[in-house]
A and B are shown apart, each in its own frame.
Chain A
Amino acid sequence: MLQYERSLVEKWKDEPFALVGVNTDPPETLSKLVKNGTVTWRNFRDEKVGGEISGKWDIVGWPTIYVLDHKGVIRHVNLHGNDLDQALTKLIKKAKEEAGEGK
């Protein structure tokens, strides 16, 4: 699973894309995963299942994956594989177009 996430970070490193996690492991586990290079993206520490952030977002299953567009609007929930890839590609394209128009 994390290999796939790393590949997304690498693939879109020069694009308007960010992977931001909310991690429910104990802080020392997360630190270790970042330091040994397993996790290559930034995470909010939620420290436990049903932590404060997960609670606010009413998360009942793990992992739960949200996709937000460049305006911070929720666009998809729990897309996987090809569907996720396509959705992200489309949103990134739109983000670039709108950034271009703003210039």
Chain B
Amino acid sequence: MKARLTMVIMGLVIGPVLGDGVKEAKKLISESKKNEVEAMKVLDLVTGDLTEEGVDQVIEWVIENGFAEERKRVGEVVFSVPKNDQLILKYVRVLGFFGERGPLEAVIGKLDKGRLHQEARFRLALLVSEDAQRNLTLTDAERAAGNQEAVGLLEKLGKEEGLNEFVEKWVEDLLYKVTHLVVGCEAPEIEGVDHDGNQFRLSDYRGKVVLLPFWGFW
């Protein structure tokens, strides 16, 4: 409260330089067109105003519209705004989505134990497993190492006390996936019937290379 009052007084003295960053940032956001995002400038504007009302929306906008550099910098400010778990959660999810491992690990290091910390660690495991799958330049050994790292992260998280029930289910599903359904795993057996109702199995084709599309017209 006192700091805020000081800001107001200083604002009166030295004009719109201090305290108006959030307002300026919001103006810039509202004027910006999709193809000329100025997320770094927006961040610059609010950096001195991180406790101001409305700063959360500005940070959220940067998380959604910024690029790698801005997203990285958000990591420095997202813990300086008044505690806002929703904002951090959004940040964690966006980092996971864009596969930004370094910033995600940095966030995990700053979080207290709990639901958010658990989800962030799950997102990291997901990112590691997706990296291992998507990167076509990896050798089999490198891919296996990536999968193994994801398994390690998931197993550790799965053993955590007080694990949130949703996170627990995600961990279970992803663990099944990275140990059964990714490159390098033996394909799970399929037993079923063909168009005439005749029983057959996927393992009937051992010895042949199999192209296995899941498809339909519906």
**Set of chain A residues within 8 Å of B206, measured between Cβ atoms:** 70-72
Asked if A45 and B194 make an inter-chain contact with CB atoms under 8 angstroms apart, the answer reads yes
- Complex formed: what's the CA distance from A59 to B216 in Å? 13
Tell me if B182 and A74 are in contact (CB < 8 A): yes
Query: Given A44-B190, A68-B187, A77-B133, are A58 and B209 neighbors across the interface (CB < 8 Å)?
Result: no
CA–CA, A8 and B218, complex, Å: 23
Known: A59-B214, A73-B187. A20 touches B205 (CB 8 A): yes
Question: In the complex, are the beta carbons of A70 and B209 less than 8 A apart?
Answer: yes
Is the Cβ of A57 less than 8 Å from the Cβ of B213? no
- A30 to B207 Cα, complex, angstroms: 27
B192 touches A88 (CB 8 A): no
CA–CA, A73 and B143, complex, Å: 14
For chain A, the bracket of interface size reads 35 or more
By a CB distance below 8 angstroms, the chain B residues around A45 are 192-195
Known: A25-B216, A62-B215, A66-B212. A73 touches B194 (CB 8 A): no
Residue of A nearest to B176 (CB): A58
Interface residue from B193, B194, B209 paired with A68 (Cβ < 8 Å) = B209
B166-218 interface with A by 8 A CB criterion: 173, 176-177, 181-188, 190, 192-196, 200, 202-203, 205-218
**Nearest A residue to B202, CB-CB:** A20
Contact A57 B188, beta carbon cutoff 8 Å? yes
A53: contacting residue among B173, B192, B210, CB under 8 A? B192
Contact assessment for A53 and B183 in the assembled complex, using a CB-CB cutoff below 8 Å: no
Name the 10 nearest CB pairs between A and B, nearest first: A24-B216, A44-B192, A63-B215, A66-B212, A68-B210, A91-B209, A16-B208, A25-B216, A65-B213, A22-B214
